[in-house]
Amino acid sequence: MGVPDIARLQRRTLTLLVAAQVVGGLGIGSAISVGAILALRLSGSEQWSGLAGTMITLGAGAIALPLARLAASKGRRISLSLGWLVAAAGALVTLLAATVSSFVLLLAGLLLVGSGTATNLQSRYAATDLADPRTRARDLSIVVWSTTVGSVLGPNLTGPGEVVAGWLSIPPVAGPFVFSAAGFGLAFALIASRLRPDPLLIAQARREQVNPGYQPAKPSGSALMVIRKRPAALIGLSAMVLSQGIMVAVMTMTPVHMDHHGAELRLVGLTISLHIAGMYALSPVVGWLTDRLGRRPVIIIGQLVLVASAITAGTAHHSTPQLTIGLVLLGLGWSAGLVAGSTLLTESVPDEARTRIQGTSDVLMSLMGAVGGGLSGVILGATSFGTLNALAAVLVIPTLALIAIETVTRRRRPHDDAPVSLER
């Protein structure tokens, strides 16, 4: 099998991933903006409303590892296209649930919608398969950034969603899920038809060409065992997983918190869209800083920004502008944890275990998000939005502690952040 020009193929792959992320991100943004409110309307309970975010993140966790295993055996095209297709089916089930007023069916639909989140996350790893080590974080961050357009636009489709809902005779709050179904479906079509040749399969062929007779070693031990033996990988994993927990816990309950204070649905959508802009819009800058400053410094910066977010949003009370600033900072801190953490994890583990570990990391991110989303409703109902932010901020401690311990115990090595085994 001949291997095409790697730089040209990487540019083509990035372009296609960006296009799919734009429309897929629209689907995610539309679902997130009204998921908790729809759950509140169908269940009639504030505590149960938190299950909207929980089901999305549980769905993402449930499918992340199967998608990673499918990628390892069949390539990124099959894996990512299937992920978007499942998400589109979930959006349709959610629309049906809203039509028949079934809370149980709503949870099932949101579980499938979670596949969109998992696919969105795994797309960033597809950007690293053929990336130049010097710009790996930048390439990854470009794919993360491309979600901005759709994800920011999605929450602002609540108005048009109400119009579409009227046409389809479904509850107005469910209208944005029509755009979710369309966005996920278009992302599926783009990946399934255009991601050829497959970047992961080409990377494998590249290794075989450079090393004739190359046979990847069989993975030894579980993914977590491999990570535990590598402090850098553990730091990267912690940054991603705990940043996800903080972000989901606060973001999930923000629409409910605003609804309690009488905010209009359009204003809720605007606030969430600005939060999502914070998550994605500056990710290329985060990627550039990660390549220039190193992975760990950017992770530290991200954790500190998350603390600032908790203080700002948690003390906002009735101030929507202050709350919005806090949500933007929440997105920025999450972005730093995701981009720098993903890059550090990817280049700190061996070739034969990399795809499996990438899937495992996304499973753990989703599970942490599910826990955060589920507990957030209970915490908000029992205490306050300020307390929820304070408890979420505590989650930065483990990542900062891991970095401090590694700094103290390991001997400094030249080019410590350089990739250990990835081949271009």
Q: Which helix (H) or strand (E) holds 252?
A: helix 231-260
Tell me the average pLDDT of the chain: 86
Is the model's pLDDT at 419 over the cut of 50?
no
Q: Is 1 a member of any domain?
A: no
Kindly indicate the confidence band of residue 424, based on its pLDDT and cuts at 50, 70 and 90: very low
pLDDT of residue 423: 43
pLDDT of residue 162: 82
Q: Is 107 a member of any domain?
A: yes
Q: Is 417 a member of any domain?
A: no
Kindly indicate the confidence band of residue 163, based on its pLDDT and cuts at 50, 70 and 90: confident
Kindly indicate the confidence band of residue 277, based on its pLDDT and cuts at 50, 70 and 90: confident
pLDDT of residue 375: 87
- The 10s digit of each residue's pLDDT in 23-82 is 998 888 788 768 878 888 887 776 677 678 778 878 888 899 999 999 988 999 999 999
- Average pLDDT value for residue range 77-103: 94
Q: Is 127 a member of any domain?
A: yes
More confident residue, 243 or 275: 243
pLDDT of residue 9: 92
Query: Which of 201-205, 307-311, 406-410, 419-423 shows the lowest mean pLDDT across its residues?
Result: 419-423
Q: Is 270 a member of any domain?
A: yes
When divided into structural domains, the chain yields a total of 1
List Cα–Cα distances, 396 to 126, 325, 402, in angstroms: 28, 19, 10
Q: Is 216 a member of any domain?
A: no
Q: Is 419 a member of any domain?
A: no
- The 10s digit of each residue's pLDDT in 300-343 is 999 999 999 999 999 988 888 899 999 999 999 999 999 999 99
**What whole-number distance in Å separates Cα of residue 403 and Cα of residue 303?**
11
- Average pLDDT value for residue range 99-110: 92
Q: Percent of the chain, pLDDT > 90?
A: 49
Here the CATH number for the domain that contains residue 308 is 1.20.1250.20
Expressed as residue numbers, the domain containing 319 is 6-210+221-409
Q: Which residue has the tokens 């994605």?
A: 280
Q: Is 250 a member of any domain?
A: yes
Kindly indicate the confidence band of residue 110, based on its pLDDT and cuts at 50, 70 and 90: very high
pTM of the model: 0.80
Is the model's pLDDT at 160 over the cut of 60?
yes
The per-residue DSSP string of 362-411 comes to HHHHHHHHHHHHHHHHHHHHHS-HHHHHHHHHGGGHHHHHHHHHHHHHSP
